C-alpha cells in the first residue's frame, strides 16, 4: 500500500518552507504527499511581504476532498494564522480518518516575520493541540505558548516540555536549534513521560529556511510508513541534519536560503 501523508499549512512562494517544503520532504522520504492550503504567503528568502488566508469553508472543502478519497496514514499541520481556520481544521480532524497527527505550531518565519496572530495562540493550544499525537515547537514557540521566556538550559527545556504536556499535548518534540553551544539538542517527551535527547553537531550556515517545516514533515513521513514515534523522530532528525549540512551546495536567493531536501538524489 502506498504511504500517504497530508500537509495542512501555508504556501511559501519562495519554495523553501510551508506546503512546498512539506511535499518535497514527503517525496524525499518515500511518501506520497497531498495538501490542504490554509494560507498564501508572498515570501522569499528575504522575508514575508504578505499573507492571504484561505477562507475557512474552502479549507473545509479541501479536507473533505482529500480525506474522503485518499487513505491517509499521517497528517502534518503547519501555519494556521487565524482562529477560524484553526477551528475548521480541528473539526475536520475529528470528522475524518487522518492517521497520526504532527502539529508544528508555526508562529514566526526564519526572517522574523510573524505568521500567527496573538489571538490565535490560545485557540491553537486549547482546540488543536489535544488532537495531535506530537507537537514540534522550537524554543521561542514553546515560550510563546506558555507565556514565558525561552528555555536557556536543558533543565528548562524539560520543564517547558512537561508544562506543554500538562496543557494537553500528547507528545512534545522541543527543538533546540535556536539555542547555543556546539550541539543542537532536541528533546522528545513521550506520552509515558519518557524523555529522549537527540543531539547533533550544530552546523554553521545562513541557509536554514524551512527547517521546522521539514523536520515535522519528515516525522509525519515516517509515521505514514508505519514507524513508531521514536523511530520516526530519530530518522527525521538524521534527515534534517543532513539537509542542513547540504544547504550551502544550493544557490537560492539573497537571504536565508532553503535546506537541501533532495540531497540524497541530486548529483553533486
Element (H, E) at 165: helix 154-166
Q: How far apart are CA 98 and CA 61, in angstroms?
A: 15
Residue 211 is a catalytic residue: yes
Question: Could you give the C-alpha distances from 23 to 6, 176, 182, in angstroms and in order?
Answer: 9, 24, 31
Residue 205 is a catalytic residue: no
Question: Which residues, including other chains, have CB under 8 Å from residue 85's CB and lie 6 or more apart?
Answer: 38, 39, 53, 54, 56, 59
Among the listed residues 75, 213, 237, 257, the single catalytic one is: 213
Among the listed residues 212, 222, 237, 257, the single catalytic one is: 212
Q: How far apart are CA 143 and CA 22, in angstroms?
A: 24
Q: DSSP letter at 262?
A: T
Among the listed residues 16, 33, 98, 175, the single catalytic one is: 175
Q: How far apart are CA 124 and CA 81, in angstroms?
A: 10
Residue 181 is a catalytic residue: no
Element (H, E) at 244: helix 229-245
Among the listed residues 7, 25, 45, 208, the single catalytic one is: 208
Residue 238 is a catalytic residue: no
CA angle 104, 114, 118 (to 5 degrees): 80
Residue 148 is a catalytic residue: no
Residue 212 is a catalytic residue: yes
Residue numbers annotated as active site: 175, 208, 210-213
Amino acid at each position: 500500500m502506498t504511504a500517504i501523508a497530508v500537509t495542512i499549512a501555508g504556501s511559501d512562494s519562495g519554495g523553501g518552507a510551508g506546503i512546498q517544503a512539506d511535499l518535497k520532504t514527503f517525496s524525499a522520504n518515500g511518501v506520497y504527499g497531498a495538501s490542504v492550503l490554509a494560507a498564501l504567503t508572498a515570501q522569499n528568502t528575504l522575508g514575508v511581504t504578505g499573507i492571504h488566508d484561505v477562507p475557512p469553508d474552502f479549507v473545509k472543502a479541501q479536507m473533505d476532498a482529500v480525506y474522503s478519497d485518499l487513505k491517509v496514514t499521517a497528517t502534518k499541520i503547519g501555519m494556521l494564522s487565524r482562529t477560524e481556520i484553526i477551528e475548521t481544521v480541528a473539526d475536520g480532524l475529528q470528522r475524518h480518518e487522518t492517521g497520526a497527527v504532527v502539529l508544528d505550531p508555526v508562529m514566526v518565519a526564519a526572517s522574523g516575520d510573524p505568521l500567527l496572530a496573538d489571538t490565535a495562540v490560545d485557540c491553537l493550544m486549547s482546540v488543536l493541540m489535544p488532537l495531535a499525537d506530537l507537537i514540534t515547537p522550537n524554543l521561542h514557540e514553546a515560550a510563546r505558548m506558555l507565556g514565558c521566556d525561552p528555555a536557556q538550559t536543558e533543565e528548562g527545556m524539560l520543564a517547558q516540555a512537561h508544562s506543554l504536556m500538562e496543557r494537553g499535548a500528547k507528545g512534545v518534540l522541543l527543538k533546540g536549534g535556536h539555542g547555543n553551544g556546539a550541539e543542537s539538542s532536541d528533546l522528545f517527551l513521550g506520552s509515558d513521560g519518557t524523555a529522549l535527547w537527540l543531539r547533533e553537531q550544530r552546523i554553521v550556515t545562513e541557509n536554514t529556511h524551512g527547517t521546522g517545516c521539514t523536520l515535522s514533515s519528515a516525522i509525519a513521513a515516517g509515521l505514514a510508513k508505519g514507524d513508531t514515534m521514536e523511530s520516526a523522530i530519530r530518522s527525521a532528525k538524521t534527515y534534517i541534519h543532513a539537509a542542513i549540512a547540504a544547504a550551502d551546495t544550493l544557490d537560492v536567493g539573497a537571504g536565508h536560503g532553503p535546506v537541501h531536501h533532495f540531497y540524497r538524489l541530486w548529483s553533486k
